[in-house]
Amino acid sequence: MADLNEQEIRRLVEEAVQQLGANVSGDAVSQVVQEAAAKINAPANTSAPLPQQPGVQQSRIIVTAFGKNRRGILAGLTGVLAESGCDILDLSQKLLQEFFTTMLLVDISESSLPFEEIKTKVTAKGEALDLKVIIQHEAIFNAMHRV
Amino acid sequence: MPIALEEILETIRMTEVEHFDIRTVTMGISLLDCRSDDLKRMKTNIYDKIMRTAAEHVATARKVESEYGISIANKRISITPMAIVADGHYPEDFIDLAKTIDRAGDELGVDYIGGFSALVQKGFTMGDRSLIKAIPETLASTKHICSSVNVASTKAGINMDAVKMMGETVKLTAEKTADRDAIGCAKLVVFANVPEDNPFIAGAFHGVSEPDVTINVGISGPGVILRAVKEAPADLDFSQLGERIKNMAFKITRAGEFIGKKVAAMQSVPYGIVDISLAPTPLPGDSVADILKAMGLEDVGATGTTAALALLNDSVKRGGLMASSHVGGMSGAFIPVSEDEGMIHAAQKGHITLEKLEAMTSVCSVGIDMAAIPGSTPASVISGLIADECAIGMTNNKTTAVRIIPVPGKEAGDMVDYGGLLGAAPIMPISNLNNSIFVDRGGRLPPPTKGINN
């Protein structure tokens, strides 16, 4: 019953008592509740619905990198992403004098690695190239910049 | 519409340069089902419930921080006012319970636990009296526990017995923690019209009308608003200045609500509210005072400061209300002295005084907050200050509060440094004129007629 919160458990117990009548024994309630909880947990085991925004996929991340321009920066970053099985959907970059800024929109749904690992790998590669790399899920930008 | 590079860079500038963060994600936990007349049993009930309910709170908040690149400065818990939970017990029992809760907080890794609280605007229960008696020792002997007492409301008026008692309690708390520059007082706040879903410390508690568990969020973005105001040309009129603040407030509120909903959903807990208060930090540039200065004042304390704060407060609300359907808590601008770099400087130079802060109370979120005064200040003077702030709150139908620190052994002009988010405070002078007959009258100061609004 690990995925049920306290309120859900209480609601289940209330429901069970209602169905079984008030004079039922504690064991019987416990059995009905456990059965019901197993049913709830069995099918999807989705850990609560996350607030979804239309058009936003949870699997898309945005990689932003800043630093002094030099050869191989983009190749380095995209190389790590490709190795990790990520798909680059969009890319834009700006060069202000010596200063390089790039933004990559990346789909990580096909990657075998979890978000944290991809983040660690790309950030480490960025550091090796003297870049500051920031990686965030796309959803935060939609929340802040779209009405 | 895809996100533009400029929008991404703006977000990153907010978090990396302008110190925009989520000040707190506060999990409210009801302890009403933990009550027992057996102290040992109640301690077990409370400890178990907090440990069980908030087991993943800190880890979840860290995960969300990492995934969305916005840091969450504090992970906190608020609980049902202890005076209600432990009514029927003695003051020593309250201290004992607080220590148990403190230990849970330690083990969970949360920063603060708010809710060592009593609501006494109309009178005391035995539990209320016991809790208030236990406050000084509790705050001296625990690390995470924060305490608040609501002594007035627009409906009930001001409980002047409680006001007197709280002046004395503040003094006692200062004395008990004299070795740490009276830090106990930084964790004690006296309220009028306290909100029941406030995520901010020291006044956070989990109101009795709240669900079993909930997540409330407080944002912190003075740095972001400061840039919007600083970049405004000197001849920009007030409507347009307000517009700029509003736009920024919208963005930071959306971020706050988004993060709060994520933290709540990942723990299968209902999301409550976002508190759109602008909460400053002692970091350079993350200052509410600096925003007021950027509007065109030489320093806070100049004439016009209250008007500037009114504009700031209102503009933030306009943006915040558009951004979120559930705005709650304090939702105004905080003007703490020690926690705001600009305020600290202004207080050091004598530009901002307690009298001006009191005037600013009428248009801000709480009132006299984190202001240090000489340790020799009598309890009746502190009670008088509490009564004044309560009168503003009661009459204007708003939340007001006093979090004041009479630092033992320090005089006006000295400094105290608490470090971290609590910052550093210059000792401010306060009027020591005698008010003891007034404070000693006691009883209930009647509410204003506007409290009768049905």
| Cβ–Cβ contact B1 with A under 8 A | yes
Cβ contact A6–B212 (<8 Å)? yes
My answer on whether B276 and B128 are in the same domain is no
My answer on whether B290 and B420 are in the same domain is yes
DSSP letter for each residue of B388-414: HHHHHHHHTTS-EEEEEEEETT--TT-
pLDDT for residue A23: 73
Domain with CATH 3.30.70.260 in chain A: 60-145
- Nearest Cα residue in chain A from B249: A144
Would you say residue B279 lies in a domain?
A: yes
CB-neighbour burial class of residue B175 (10 A; exposed 0-12, middle 13-18, buried 19+): middle
Is pLDDT at B201 greater than 50 in this prediction? yes
CB A137 within 8 A of CB A58: yes
CB A85 within 8 A of CB A143: no
Provide the residue type at B274 as one letter.
V
Domain that holds residue B231: 218-441
CA of B13, closest CA in chain A: separation in Å?
Answer: 11
Would you say residue B146 lies in a domain?
A: yes
State how beta strands B444-445 and B157-159 pair: antiparallel
> Which of B8, B261, B269 shows the shortest C-beta gap to A141?
B8
- Rounded to 10 degrees, the C-alpha dihedral B317/B323/B326/B328 comes to -30
CB B362 within 8 A of CB B396: yes
My answer on whether B226 and B351 are in the same domain is yes
pLDDT in tens, B420-435: 989 999 999 999 999 9
Cβ contact A146–B8 (<8 Å)? no
Identify the CATH number of the domain in which residue B183 sits. Answer: 3.20.70.20
Would the CA dihedral through A8, A10, A15, A20 be positive or negative? positive
Is pLDDT at A47 greater than 90 in this prediction? no
Cβ contact A141–B11 (<8 Å)? yes
pLDDT in tens, B154-196: 999 999 999 999 999 999 999 999 999 999 999 999 999 999 9
Cα B144 to Cα B110, B137, B180: the distances in Å are: 8, 13, 15
Which architecture, in CATH terms, is A60-145? 2-Layer Sandwich (3.30)
Cβ contact A144–B258 (<8 Å)? yes
My answer on whether B155 and B85 are in the same domain is yes
Report which of B86, B205, B182 is spatially closest to residue B134, judged by C-alpha positions.
B86
My answer on whether B48 and B126 are in the same domain is yes
Would you say residue B13 lies in a domain?
A: no
Q: Which of A62-71, B48-57, B87-96, B342-351 has the lowest mean pLDDT?
A: A62-71
Would you say residue B3 lies in a domain?
A: no
| Cβ–Cβ contact B69 with A under 8 A | yes
- State how many domains chain B has: 2
Q: Can you tell me the distance from the alpha carbon of B100 to that of B102, in angstroms, rounded to the nearest whole number? A: 5
CB A102 within 8 A of CB A65: yes
**Contact partners, residue B325, CB within 8 Å, separation at least 6:** none
Report which of B448, B453, B444, B447 is spatially closest to residue B159, judged by C-alpha positions.
B444
Q: Can you tell me the distance from the alpha carbon of B244 to that of B247, in angstroms, rounded to the nearest whole number? A: 5
- Nearest Cα residue in chain A from B6: A103
Would you say residue B210 lies in a domain?
A: no
B64 to chain A: which residues are within 8 Å by CB? none
Among B174, B192, B210, where does a domain finish?
A: B192
CA of A64, closest CA in chain B: separation in Å?
Answer: 8
Is pLDDT at A20 greater than 90 in this prediction? no
Report which of B357, B79, B95, B65 is spatially closest to residue B203, judged by C-alpha positions.
B79
Report cis status (omega within 30 of 0) of the bond before B202: yes
CB B354 within 8 A of CB B371: yes
Cα A39 to Cα A17, A28, A35, A42, B302: the distances in Å are: 18, 17, 6, 5, 66
ipTM: 0.86
A41 to chain B: which residues are within 8 Å by CB? none
pLDDT in tens, B103-147: 999 999 999 999 999 999 999 999 999 999 999 999 999 999 999
Cβ contact B11–A90 (<8 Å)? no
